[in-house]
């Protein structure tokens, strides 16, 4: 390659995978098994994201599941109390191999390598995720809301913009809204898991807020309990999440039509967790908010149509600048997209028609799953009665 053919983005994007001849692999490429493993990962790891992924067109769904599988696998490694910084170092080495086109022998690595290559996801976006893991391992505390959103950008907005990338989005305003959605979901996670995190010695609430409400961080970690002042902090955090959900919804119309239903459904399900926290009196220490299957089904149906709650401000919201914490992330992917060019073809009207069929299929699956769960509960009840006889 001559100097005139070289571009700085060549340093950022993944190289093609070195594939073994199919004949050497006994007639199989191995990609199908990798996809199955990624599908199992999202099905077991997150009912909400699994449900939403079913609504995506097939190629996008496969890429989204590969993305989720790698992120979830990485997150589980970091959460393992036996891991520590060596696990993060290993993940960074595996990411280097992924972008060199020679992924480690893990299904999620191979599938993710194909995804970042096919959709030209710049390496710094994924590195931001690992930077967030480093914050977790270091037991970092967050002095201000801005500090907390910098963390949320690393662990969640990075995933949001990667999802936008696999849908072919490179417009900076649309990417900013994808980052907003990621930040909103992470703030919801933090609000939901306050008690669980505290019992594990972790605290994500802004220390400035604790000070303002007269709460001592170390005392709370030593004996986590709900107080009215803590409830005010949770309410405040959920208000900030709502702000980012509003911005995120404004960007959904910038996505390919066949992808909007899935993303809107995921957003609505996560928003519903915040609503449940409010119904619990903002107490996330004594109880953990969740959404049931019936509620998810209702939100799936609601997600078919554009959210009208903020229609009056949607145009203005869609043009808002990215949150300062996510600005660099958005700029990195936007500039790389303009230099490289999107490899994604916008979905056709045929995709819209197929989406109706997918929705029907999903509802039937949900109905069958509900019946199976009811049968299992009845069977357990009979066994319990028999054991007491």
DSSP category for residue 83: T
Instruction: Give the model's pLDDT for residue 387.
Output: 65
Residue 354, pLDDT > 70, answer no
Q: What does each C-alpha distance from 107 to 97, 216, 228 come to in angstroms?
A: 14, 44, 47
Residue given tokens 């999802």 in the structure block = 163
Identify each DSSP E strand in the chain by its residue range. Answer: none
- Percent of the chain scoring above 70 in pLDDT: 76
DSSP category for residue 105: S
Q: What is the DSSP string of 259-322?
A: HHHHHHHHHHHHHHHHHHHHHTTT--SS------HHHHHHHHHHTTS---TTTTTHHHHHTPPP
Residue 200, pLDDT > 60, answer yes
Rounded to the nearest angstrom, the gap between the alpha carbon of residue 335 and the centroid of all alpha carbons in its chain is 23
SS3 19: coil
- Write out pLDDT tens, residues 240-270: 999 999 999 999 999 999 999 999 999 999 9
- Write out pLDDT tens, residues 113-124: 999 999 989 999
> With bands split at pLDDT 50, 70 and 90, how would you rate the model's confidence at 288?
very high
- Write out pLDDT tens, residues 294-324: 898 899 899 999 888 988 999 999 999 999 9
Q: Which residues of 296-334 are buried (b: 16+ CB within 10 A; e: fewer)?
A: bbebbeebeeebeeeeeebeebbebebbebbeebbebbb
CA angle 76-115-59, nearest 5°? Answer: 110
Please tell me the distance from the alpha carbon of residue 140 to that of residue 148, in angstroms, as a whole number.
10
Q: Contact, 64 vs 266, CB < 8 A?
A: no
Instruction: Give the model's pLDDT for residue 316.
Output: 95
DSSP category for residue 355: H
Instruction: Give the model's pLDDT for residue 342.
Output: 41
Instruction: Give the model's pLDDT for residue 46.
Output: 64
Please tell me the distance from the alpha carbon of residue 366 to that of residue 364, in angstroms, as a whole number.
5
Instruction: Give the model's pLDDT for residue 376.
Output: 63
Two structure tokens written together for 355: 């989406």
User: Using only C-alpha atoms, what is the Rg of the chain?
Assistant: 22
- Write out pLDDT tens, residues 13-57: 566 655 544 443 433 446 767 777 776 766 676 666 667 777 888
Please tell me the distance from the alpha carbon of residue 342 to that of residue 325, in angstroms, as a whole number.
25
φ/ψ (deg, to 5) at 126: -70, -35
Lowest mean pLDDT among 80-94, 162-176, 363-377: 363-377
Domains of the chain (ranges; CATH) run: 8-340 (1.10.600.10)
Q: Which helix (H) or strand (E) holds 256?
A: none
Q: What is the DSSP string of 122-168?
A: -HHHHHHHHHHHHHHHTT---SSHHHHHHHHIIIIIHHHHHHHHHTT
Residue given tokens 């997209």 in the structure block = 337
Residue given tokens 């199992």 in the structure block = 40
Lowest mean pLDDT among 70-74, 82-86, 126-130, 345-349: 345-349
């Amino acid at each position: 390659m001559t100097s005139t053919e070289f571009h700085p983005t060549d340093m950022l994007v993944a190289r093609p995978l070195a594939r073994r001849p199919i004949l050497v692999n006994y007639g199989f490429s191995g990609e199908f098994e990798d996809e199955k493993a990624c599908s199992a990962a999202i099905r077991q790891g997150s009912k909400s994201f699994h449900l939403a992924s079913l609504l995506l067109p097939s190629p996008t769904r496969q890429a989204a599941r590969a993305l989720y599988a790698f992120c979830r696998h990485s997150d589980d490694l970091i959460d393992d109390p036996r891991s520590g910084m060596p696990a993060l170092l290993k993940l960074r080495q595996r990411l280097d191999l992924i972008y060199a086109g020679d992924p480690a022998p893990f299904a999620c690595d191979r599938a993710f390598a194909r995804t970042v290559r096919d959709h030209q996801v710049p390496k710094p976006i994924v590195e931001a995720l690992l930077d967030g893991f480093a914050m977790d391992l270091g037991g970092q505390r967050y002095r201000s809301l801005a500090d907390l959103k910098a963390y949320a950008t690393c662990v969640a907005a990075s995933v949001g913009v990667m999802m936008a990338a696999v849908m072919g989005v490179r417009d900076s305003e649309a990417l900013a809204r994808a980052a907003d959605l990621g930040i909103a979901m992470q703030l919801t996670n933090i609000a939901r898991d306050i008690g669980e995190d505290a019992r594990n010695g972790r605290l994500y609430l802004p220390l400035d807020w604790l000070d303002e409400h007269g709460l001592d961080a170390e005392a709370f970690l030593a004996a986590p309990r709900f107080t009215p002042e803590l409830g005010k902090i949770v309410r405040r955090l959920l208000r900030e999440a709502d702000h980012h959900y509003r911005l995120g919804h404004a960007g959904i119309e910038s996505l390919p039509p066949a992808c909007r239903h899935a993303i809107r459904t995921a957003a609505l399900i996560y928003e519903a967790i915040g609503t449940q926290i409010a119904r619990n009196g903002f107490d996330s220490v004594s109880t953990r908010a969740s959404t049931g299957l019936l509620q998810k089904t209702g939100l799936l149906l609601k997600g078919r149509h554009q959210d009208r709650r903020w229609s009056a401000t949607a145009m203005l919201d869609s043009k808002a600048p990215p949150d300062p914490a996510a600005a660099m992330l958005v700029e990195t992917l936007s500039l790389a997209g303009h230099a490289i060019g999107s490899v994604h073809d916008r979905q056709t009207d045929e995709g819209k028609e197929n989406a109706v069929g997918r929705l029907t299929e999903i509802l039937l699956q949900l109905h069958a799953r509900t019946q199976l769960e009811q049968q299992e509960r009845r069977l357990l009840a009979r066994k319990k009665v028999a054991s007491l006889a």
